[in-house]
Amino acid sequence: MCPKKNLNDLRKKIDKIDSTIINLINKRGGISREIGDVKKGRNQALYSPDRESQVYSGIRKKNSGPLLDGSVEAIYREIMSACLSLEKAMKIAYLGPEFTFTHQVSMKKFGSSVDYLSCDSISGVFREVEKGNADYGVVPIENSTEGAVNHTLDVFIDSPLVVCSEVYFPICHSLLSKKGNMKAIKRIYSNPQVFGQCRGWIEKHLPQAKLRDTKSTGEAAQIAAKHDDAACIASELAAAKYRLKVLAKAIEDSASNVTRFLVIGKNMSKISGKDKTSIVFSIKDKPGALYDMLSSFKKPGINLTKIESRPSKKKAWKYYFFVDMQGHCETPKIARALKTLEKKCHFVKIMGSYPRGKLNTV
């Protein structure tokens, strides 16, 4: 027969473990501060996405339960956020206002120990990082339903910033309103990409409502909070922030609705071992030119994971091509392929090499 466990004794064990954890976290913080001093002396970026990726990979391997990997990662996210803040007071720019999905992704990526700067546009996020008012920025780049966020692609062409990291974030949209009366709704506010993700639901439930574009779901929530006959499509966190009622949940047309976000900054990430490289190039106007460009990657066996085209907006029928590939630009195979590509193109730019994000990240 199992002896009866004493609650007070178990709690004393917890208290002892907590004391050990606190001491170790502070010891980790002290070493992080020393690392920060070394990096400052070498003029290195304090945030290292490659090292971050290695830490998460390491704790997943070491985790034997009963805590789930996601729970352990969430704990470490805050530990690393706090340690990073000891190295430097960091500021992250994001497409705002508060509680947009970009804001949520920013907090998920960097934790609660850094400062955040709300921007009213994607180009505004780039601008704040370029000017040094923020250390890094977070912007959406593509959605699994609606495809590329074209504004982000366009800004990258002329921006000196690079991609440092990527985050995949599952998106769940809700219909919110001030009064909570669906019959009274005449207008719905949201980002154009969001309308595309919820098109079927809107046509079925609110076909008479006029759709009004906003720069973000947060802005849409702010507007809806001022009008009795308006609604917005945003997150449930936005409902709490702007005192809106939730009329319907999970109204996105696809159950697997995921948006990919990029962390942008001034420094390229180092090789982590599981990387992705993004580039943009323009080609000479001749038959078979695009095929010739892509053959630069086929011959060495480089896996291209995405290709997207955008008009240059500078000359009619001239296009830029955006390509993602597996691997880091500093590895010999990709470095050689990019040199071959440069000889064939008018323009080639490496947008960044960075650790690959996890599709199942929650």
The residues that are catalytic are 259, 261
DSSP bridge partners of 273: none
Q: Which residues of 1-31 are buried (b: 16+ CB within 10 A; e: fewer)?
A: eeeeeeeeeeeeeeeeeeeeeeeeeeeebee
Q: Which two tokens stand for residue 7?
A: 């609650």
Nearby residues of 261 by Cβ (< 8 Å), 6 or more positions away:
102, 105, 138, 139, 140, 141, 166, 167, 168, 169
Burial of residue 309 (CB within 10 Å: 0-12, 13-18, 19+) is: exposed
DSSP bridge partners of 271: none
Q: Closest Cα to residue 253, out of 100, 144, 141, 140? A: 144
DSSP bridge partners of 121: none
Q: Are residues 251 and 174 in contact, defined by beta-carbon separation less than 8 angstroms?
A: yes
Cα 35 from Cα 333, distance rounded (Å): 32
What DSSP designation does 357 have?
A: P
Phi, psi (rounded to 5 degrees) for 281 = -150, 160
Torsion of CA 103, 105, 109, 112, to 10 degrees: 40
Q: Are residues 235 and 172 in contact, defined by beta-carbon separation less than 8 angstroms?
A: yes
The 3-state DSSP composition of the chain as helix, strand, coil percent (nearest 5) reads 40, 25, 35
Cα 117 from Cα 130, distance rounded (Å): 14
